[in-house]
Structure 1
Amino acid sequence: MPTSRETILAALHARISALPATALRGEVLPERVPTDGLLILRDGEPGEPEVTLSPLRYHYQHRAEIEAVVQGADRDAAFDTLAASIGAALATDRTLGGLCDWVEAEAPQPVDLPVEGAASLKAATIAVVLHYSTDDPLGG
């Protein structure tokens, strides 16, 4: 049986997989970026939880990361559209079906990356903060 953390990350991956861009989880950047863009979900860090004792609960603000990458001549507009679609996908249900207390993305800081012999990439890491609680930091 998967942990709460894994269930939440799988739900986040499923949510971004519904977007037109190709969505991967924990993969390396492939040699070619699909025309609709590429999203790579990184598990990130759960951080130090706040703890309540009665009943015992660990409250996390887990920072997962989505690497968003586009390529092509109109990469500025494509990146803007991709980032907005991530925000819209998260806004449809900020609890991921009741798995989290709240899900919120932080603003990206995009960079242009030159590629020898090809169109430049525009990429950014978008932090997604997952607020959730569990009764066991290892298996909850």
Structure 2
Amino acid sequence: MVSKRLEVLAAVKALVQSALPHVKVIGLDGEDAAPMRVPPTGMVVVRSGDPGEPEVDLCPPVYHYTHRIPIEVSAYETTAESGEEIVDRMMGLIGGAVEANRTLGGLCDWLEPTGPNTDDIYTEAATPARGGDFDLVASYSTTSPLN
């Protein structure tokens, strides 16, 4: 049996992949490192984030989480678009996918993105890429903090 937390993370990764089918989407658990180089088509890293302390209803026990899931988007500039434009477009496509499926098919009560931050990503001996990050905040409930 997979926990609700892992189901939500898998659904978020699938949502991002469906929004950006030609982009490498990686799900990391916080202990692994993202690849050192961004693929030419761009990359999105979905980290496990922090479900935080739940609000608890006691009878029957129900645990309500507000899980912040970090999303990192990166891309190189092209001759047609700047890295900032590509990252902005990628984040917009993810935002559109979120708006179309706020409950992840009924898995959570609500999914909401936070505002993004962008910056250059410098890697030794490589062309700088542009990166952006934001959180997807998933609100969901479960009958056990371990399930």
Greater share of strand = 1
- Once residues 33 and 74 of structure 2 are traced to their aligned partners in structure 1, the CA distance between those partners, rounded to angstroms, is 12
For 1:65-80, what aligned pairs fall within 5 Å after superposition?
65-73=70-78, 74-80=82-88
Structure 1 residues 70-95: Cα deviation after superposition (integer angstroms, max 9, x where no partner): 12352011111111011011111100
Which residue of structure 1 aligns with residue 50 of structure 2? 45
**Deviation >6 Å, runs of 4+:** none
- Pairwise CA RMSD: 1.4
Which residue of structure 2 aligns with residue 101 of structure 1? 109
Which residue of structure 2 aligns with residue 10 of structure 1? 10
> What is the letter of the counterpart of residue 4 of structure 1?
K
> What is the letter of the counterpart of residue 35 of structure 1?
P
TM-score (norm 1): 0.91
Q: Which moved more, 1:26-35 or 1:81-90?
A: 26-35
- Once residues 23 and 95 of structure 2 are traced to their aligned partners in structure 1, the CA distance between those partners, rounded to angstroms, is 14
Identity rate of aligned residues, in percent?
Answer: 38
- Residue 117 of structure 1, CA deviation: 3.8
Task: For residue 44 of structure 1, give the secondary structure of its aligned residue in structure 2.
Answer: coil
> What is the letter of the counterpart of residue 12 of structure 2?
L
> What is the letter of the counterpart of residue 135 of structure 1?
T
Which residue of structure 2 aligns with residue 125 of structure 1? 133
Contact 1:52 1:58 in 2 (8 A): yes
Aligned length: 139
Task: For residue 29 of structure 1, give the secondary structure of its aligned residue in structure 2.
Answer: coil
Structure 1 residues 86-134: Cα deviation after superposition (integer angstroms, max 9, x where no partner): 1011111100000000001111111113344432121122111010001
Q: Confirm or deny that 1:35 pairs with 2:36.
A: no
Point out where structure 2 has 5 or more consecutive residues left out of the alignment: none
